Amino acid sequence: MQIVGYETPAGALFVSDGAPDPDAPPGVATGDVDRLALDPGTELSWRLGERHCAGTVHDGGHVACGNEAAPYCEDHRSTWVCARCTGTCLKDEMDCFDDHAVYVAAFAPDTFKVGVTKEWRLDTRLREQGADRAVHLRTVDNGRVAREIEAGIAAHGLERVAGDGGENGTHGFPDGDPDGDGLPDRVRVPTKIAGLGADVDDDAWAALLDGVDYEGRFEFDYGLDLAERPVAETLVSGTVVGTKGRILVLENGGTTYAVDVRDLVGYEVVEGDSERDLQSSLGAFG
């Protein structure tokens, strides 16, 4: 069995029983794919083996790949060009004509980021990232305008930012960032793990949004109920506490662990508890 993908925000792993077959025609599935829901209370008992490229999943089948690069080799790695857009389309032809939302998300205790997404999937996108809070700053006509605003906030913070070159008016925000510092447009998973078990700093969040107009607010509860920060590990053995974005929280041997599920993709797994020595929290010895 190989872990070949994951799903957020619902929380699931995709596993395949296929293996690389040098005699199979290119692009032909060599295994079936099963979805394993990571619901709280689910018992996992898998031991991690070798790791290699996860190949591709297509129409419910898995096209396996034996290349060593993981989670994906050059042949199976995809790049979403829109993630690099700052208002100048990187595609042959612009196609992002849906309404887009510009938002600021908060991750406990005091990490904040700017982002954009199609307006209809704003709630889903925030849950995919594991945001604790967010505000929907503004809705604009297309992705180009949204990315331009995002790039301006990333560079200058929530101060007045020119939006779309004057085609649809000026998209700007009042001076809500007293220092004029830019906001990042991404937050790394280790930073999110470091904030597990903590609350959002109310004062820092309020200061960031002081004087800023916005269209809506969001606040999320992932049901983890953590008394302390989990230990960061790569394992797939224990009782599922819950998920937060792509972070899987497991209880194993009296210690709570936080796993970046992307770090699991590509691993071969077999039934059985982990044989590695795992770091334990101090609470495990209390």
The per-residue pLDDT for 158 is 87
Per-residue pLDDT tens digits for 215-265: 999 999 999 999 889 999 999 999 999 999 999 999 999 999 999 999 999
Same domain, 185 and 233: no
Same domain, 230 and 194: no
Answer with the one of 174, 192, 219 that is the final residue of a domain.
219
Answer with the one of 196, 219, 242 that is the final residue of a domain.
219
Same domain, 13 and 128: no
Nearest alpha carbon to residue 38 among 8, 62, 58: 8
- Quote the domain boundaries for residue 162: 86-219
Same domain, 66 and 92: no
Please, are residues 41 and 27 in contact by the beta-carbon 8 Å criterion? no
Same domain, 210 and 231: no
Answer with the one of 204, 219, 234 that is the final residue of a domain.
219
Same domain, 200 and 109: yes
Per-residue pLDDT tens digits for 77-98: 877 676 777 677 767 677 777 9
What the block records as the tokens of 114 is 């700017």
Nearest alpha carbon to residue 99 among 125, 135, 128, 138: 138
DSSP letters spanning 131-169: -SEEEEEEEESSHHHHHHHHHHHHHH-SS----STTSS-
Helices (H), ranges, the chain: 122-129, 143-156, 189-194, 202-209
Same domain, 147 and 134: yes
Instruction: Indicate the number of domains in the chain.
Output: 2
Same domain, 112 and 143: yes
Same domain, 252 and 208: no
pTM for the structure as a whole: 0.87
Question: Looking at 84-93, 136-145, 155-164, 260-269, which range is the least confident one?
Answer: 155-164
